[in-house]
Amino acid sequence: MPVLPAELGRSGLVRGAVPALVAAVVLVLDQASKVGVSGWLGSGAGPRRWELLGKYLALEYVENTGAAFGLLRGQGTLITAVALALLAAVVAVYWLLAPPSPELSVGLGLVVGGALGNLLDRVRLGYVVDFVAVGVWPKFNLADSAIALGVLALAWRAMAGSDDEPADRGEGGERALVPGDGRPRGGASAGG
Catalytic residue list: 130, 144
Query: Nearest 5 degrees, angle CA 162-CA 113-CA 152?
Result: 40
**Strand, helix or coil for residue 98:** coil
Q: In this structure, are residues 57 and 141 in contact, taking their beta carbons and an 8 Å threshold?
A: no
What are the E-state strand segments in 57-96? 57-64
Angle at 152 between CA 150 and CA 153, to 5 degrees: 65
Which residues, 6+ apart, have CB-to-CB distance to 62 below 8 Å? 70, 129, 130, 131, 133, 139
